[in-house]
């Protein structure tokens, strides 16, 4: 049977001889709980987003490596060997696949990319929080609707918690190639 009472079992707060804020910080949290105020604390960027505020001093300029093939051009990358790429034995089939891919609509539209750049700039200035999530490496075995939905859901939930707790917008980015 529960009894109603107006008296508290917790000891009443006795003022300390020193009433500074530093001394008050050492009071047990149950005693201080009534005086707490909710306020938004700004999140500051680790590195200055404006280079003029924290200039980097370089003692000596680094030597510039010269290109082996001579002059650079927009198409010069095609002359270089991509060592990480597989060798395709059938050049005609490769060209056919590349033409097919070129005819697909873009995965991301230019306006979306510009909007993301603006939001990332806000995050760099400390006006937003960047949440980046996803797997380091994806396997085709895990490429299904349930995994995509679960990853998307957890990022949205994490973003909501961060936005509520940080009192600032959250830029959500994933490394999944299919999201």
| Sign of the CA dihedral running 66, 69, 71, 77 | negative
| Tokens, residue 132 | 């980046």
| Tokens, residue 21 | 């804020």
| 136 known member of a binding site | yes
As a whole number of angstroms, the distance between CA 84 and CA 77 comes to 14
Q: Which residues contact 127 (CB under 8 A, 6 or more apart)?
A: 168, 169
φ, ψ at 174 (rounded to 5°): -125, 150
Strands (E), 24-101: none
Is residue 162 a contact partner of residue 129, using CB atoms and an 8 Å limit?
Answer: yes
Numbered residues of the known binding site for Mn(2+): 136
Numbered residues of the known binding site: 136
């Amino acid at each position: 049977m529960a009894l109603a009472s107006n008296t508290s079992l917790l000891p009443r707060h006795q003022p300390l001889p020193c009433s500074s804020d530093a001394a008050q910080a050492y009071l047990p949290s149950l005693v201080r709980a009534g005086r707490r105020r909710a306020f938004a604390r700004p999140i500051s960027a680790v590195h200055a987003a404006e280079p003029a505020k924290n200039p980097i001093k370089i003692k000596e300029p680094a030597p510039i490596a010269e290109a082996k093939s001579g002059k650079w051009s927009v198409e010069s990358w095609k002359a270089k060997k991509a060592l990480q790429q597989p060798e395709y034995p059938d050049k005609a089939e490769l060209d056919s696949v590349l033409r097919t891919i070129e005819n697909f609509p873009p995965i991301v539209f230019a306006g979306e990319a510009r909007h993301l750049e603006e939001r990332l700039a806000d995050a760099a200035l400390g006006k937003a929080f960047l949440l980046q999530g996803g797997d380091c490496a994806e396997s085709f075995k895990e490429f299904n609707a349930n995994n995509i939905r679960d990853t998307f859901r957890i990022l949205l939930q994490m973003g909501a918690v961060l936005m509520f707790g940080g009192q600032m917008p959250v830029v959500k980015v994933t490394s999944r190639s299919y999201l």
